[in-house]
């Protein structure tokens, strides 16, 4: 018996990195999963791989900044697997700039907030619309260690602070109606944008190994296990929480250059 047997879970940003690994973790624990992402080739490959292993999983192309697509993706999930018990709002990212803040344009800020904050807001909106009418559920979003501490990427940092604010506000407002809302805050994870940075600079990994209390970057599956727990009944008395999955990095001041 898996901890997620009988549950249907909606996952955004699942074509790579943390979302990709988490989709596999969730199916390993018995969930039926719909993956929603913009990159079709990678998403379809994931679905076919996991279906060949016996997983109950499907895909719908989705841009989380488009409300019509989010609504359609939730409706697809309910129609495909008969309900929506939990969701993992993982789609997000940062947009790097070559300019200092005084010379930068506001376009990067707008793009970052549209993806990281508005995308999560829209997902929660349409997930709630179903869950409130069907006995509740669990919503998990991806923040970052940048959601609770300063970094030099001010737009990304501010957007992740916003994700944590959305999480806590939704938890406060809808807990009495049976919906739990939490977030995970990954640290340095050996996936996504960090993988090519480690490959390009072999010394960077060692510098992070020395800075992180547990002595290494995390694996995306380790974030997935935290998400699985928050989606499961094992976390039934947890809401409004932001769970760091960072090897202890959030409470240190060390940061390699």
Mean of the pLDDT values across residues 40-56? 94
* 31, 87, 150, 196, 240 from 23: Cα distances, Å: 9, 11, 30, 22, 23
Window from 147-151, 199-203, 233-237 with minimum mean pLDDT = 147-151
Which domains are present in the chain?
Answer: 8-191+221-244 (3.40.50.720)
**Who contacts 151 (Cβ-Cβ below 8 Å, separation ≥6)?**
157
Give the model confidence (pLDDT) of 161-196 as tens digits. Answer: 999 999 999 999 999 999 999 999 999 898 877 788
- The Cα 102–Cα 109 span in angstroms is 13
Give the model confidence (pLDDT) of 203-251 as tens digits. Answer: 888 898 888 999 999 999 999 999 999 999 999 999 999 999 999 987 7
Contact present, 62 and 39 (Cβ < 8 Å): no
Q: pTM for the full model?
A: 0.94
Mean of the pLDDT values across residues 18-29? 96
- Give the pLDDT score at 176: 98
Enumerate the active-site residues: 156
- Give the pLDDT score at 95: 67
- The Cα 245–Cα 223 span in angstroms is 6
């Amino acid at each position: 018996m898996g901890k997620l047997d009988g549950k249907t879970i909606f996952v955004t940003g699942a074509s790579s990195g943390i979302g990709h690994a988490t989709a596999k973790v969730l199916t390993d624990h018995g969930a039926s999963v719909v993956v929603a992402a913009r990159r079709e080739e990678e998403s379809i490959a994931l679905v076919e791989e996991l279906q060949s292993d016996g997983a109950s999983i499907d895909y719908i192309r989705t841009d989380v900044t488009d409300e019509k697509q989010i609504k359609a993706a939730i409706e697809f999930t309910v129609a495909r697997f008969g309900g929506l018990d939990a969701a993992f709002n993982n789609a997000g990212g940062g947009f790097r700039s070559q300019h200092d803040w005084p010379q930068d344009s506001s376009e990067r800020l707008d793009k970052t907030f549209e993806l990281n904050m508005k995308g999560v807001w829209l997902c929660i909106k349409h997930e709630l619309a179903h869950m409130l009418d069907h006995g509740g559920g669990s919503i998990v979003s991806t923040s970052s260690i940048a959601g609770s501490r300063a970094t030099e990427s001010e737009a990304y940092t501010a957007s992740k602070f916003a994700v944590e604010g959305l999480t806590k506000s939704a938890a406060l407002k809808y807990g009495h109606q049976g919906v739990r809302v939490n977030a995970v805050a990954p640290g340095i994870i050996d996936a996504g944008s960090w993988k090519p940075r480690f490959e390009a600079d072999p010394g960077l990994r060692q510098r992070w190994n020395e800075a992180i209390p547990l002595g290494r970057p995390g694996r995306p599956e380790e974030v997935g296990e935290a998400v699985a727990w928050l989606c499961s009944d094992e976390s039934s008395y947890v809401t409004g929480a932001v769970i760091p999955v960072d090897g202890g990095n959030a409470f240190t001041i060390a940061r390699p250059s």
